[in-house]
Amino acid sequence: MPSGITQTEAHKKFPAALVRWQKKHGRHDLPWQQTSDPYRIWLSEIMLQQTQVQTVIPYYARFLASFPTVAALASAPLEDVLTLWAGLGYYARARNLHACARTVVSEYGGQFPADPEILTTLPGIGRSTAAAIAVFAFKQRAAILDGNVKRVFCRVFGIDGIPATTAVDKSLWLLADTLLPKKDVGAYTQGLMDLGATCCTRSKPRCDSCPMKSFCAALATNRVSELPHRKTKGKLPVRTARVWLIRDDAHVWLERRQACGIWGGLLSLPDAESVRLPANATELPGTQVRHKFTHFELQAEVARYEVRTAPSALNHRRELGAYLLAEAEALALPTPWRKLLIAERNQKS
């Protein structure tokens, strides 16, 4: 800790300093801040997982326009949900969103439970997300601990170790519970989110504007860039695939993937072995696609064919459907295939 400041004193100063800062400098005009509707707050919290606010805002508006209530979302086909989610990434969130809505309707009469422990039993809702919903929608007293908050805590209190490890994660949760104030929990919780997103950022943090600068251990010891400690990244394993891009002048043929897996439920270019081409198919120059995921890199060989009649499916579990290339941006496609089809469309035009 900084000279003359003990750990206990820093703990005492932190909540009040954060609340004061949030009320004056925090974010107050985000669309989900203008409501206490648990459905809207839950929707925003799921969308904000691993996604920046400015990216989420237009998706949030489109979702509410199509699914204004949890009942509307629950009754919608999963394909419609995935289509609206297209481009937001991490598609398991969309599948869990749909499953959670159905659970809330079927088991809780369309009303989200206020208890954060019960909320964690719902699909896609972890401990931190449950706490945020409970705080903002139901004014409950519960601690959050997402990636941004972990970074703030590690820097302000000089916590060593990798946050994702069990021991450090446990100590951070204990700290989160200890720091939680008796009042102003909403402003405090929003302040944690705002501080990590706008001030105590991973790169180029604005330490001069931070309300914790007088007792931040990382700043006092010149360790801001070091904390939190990061896990050493090894070389990503490579997975290979062979897919076919089959099209005519205006359409592309796509298959719906099975519900499980990394692209579960999305439209996709068909695997090379899953379709039989018509005799009049013309082979075009192929291409390669590389795409990095969190845990592996995909290297795909894409064979391109132009057809005049619809191809038939060898694997009847994956029937092919014709989709307009002009609408590639709006299809529920994985990011690499969307980019490829947009480039294909632009090249054709």
Q: Which residues form the catalytic set?
A: 45
Token look-up 């076919």 returns: 244
Residue 95 burial (CB < 10 Å; 0-12/13-18/19+)? Answer: buried
How far from chain centre, in Å, is Cα 277? Answer: 37
Residue from 314, 313, 343 nearest 322 by CA: 313
What's the CA gap between 155 and 226, in Å, rounded? 9
| Token pair listed for 303 | 């064979």
DSSP secondary structure letters along 111-171: ---S-HHHHTTSTT--HHHHHHHHHHHH--------HHHHHHHHHHTT--S-TTSHHHHHH
Q: Specify the pairing of strand 251-256 against strand 267-268.
A: antiparallel
